[in-house]
Amino acid sequence: MKIAIATDHNGVDQKKDIIKKLSNYEILDKSPHNNDTDDYPDYAFKVAESIKNKEADFGILMCGTGIGMSIAANKVKGIRCAHCSSVEQAYLARLHNDANIIALSYKQDINELIAMIEKFLTTEKSLEERHLRRVKKIINYEEGTYNEL
C-alpha cells in the first residue's frame, strides 16, 4: 500500500516520526522541504492529486489544526478527506465515508496521531447499502449527475 504524506511548516518533526512508524508501507513524502512561509493548500493539493492519479492509495495531511488541509484537499475531484481528532473518527471516516485522506492537527500527541493513522489505514470501507448509497451521492454530485433534490 502506498501512502502520500505532507505537512506545512507545522508538524515537520511529527511527520518524520510518522514516516518511521509506518515503515511497513511505501511512503511518498510530498513535503520534503518545508520552510516558515510555505502554504498548506500547496501540500494538500499534492497529496490529493497523488490519490486522484492513483500514485498513492491513501493520504495523510497535517497542519496547525488539520482543518485547512481538509478543506483544500476536498477541492480535488475524487477526494474524501476527513479531518479527524480521535481514533473513533478515523475509524468511522473510513468505514462509513470511504475517506481516502486523513487530515490531522500536528498539536496532538504523537501516539494519538499514530493510533488514528493506523486505524484509518487498517479499516475497510463498509459494504452496507446505506453507506455505499451515501458515498455514491457524493460522487454523483461531484460529477454533476446528482438529481436527488
List, as one string, the DSSP characters of the chain: -EEEEEE-STTHHHHHHHHHHTTTSEEEES-SS--TT--HHHHHHHHHHHHHTTS-SEEEEEESSSHHHHHHHTTSTT--EEE-SSHHHHHHHHHHH--SEEEEETTS-HHHHHHHHHHHHHPPPP--HHHHHHHHHHHHHHHT-----
Q: From residue 29, how far is each of 47, 90, 99 by CA, in Å? A: 9, 21, 20
Active site amino acids: 63, 96
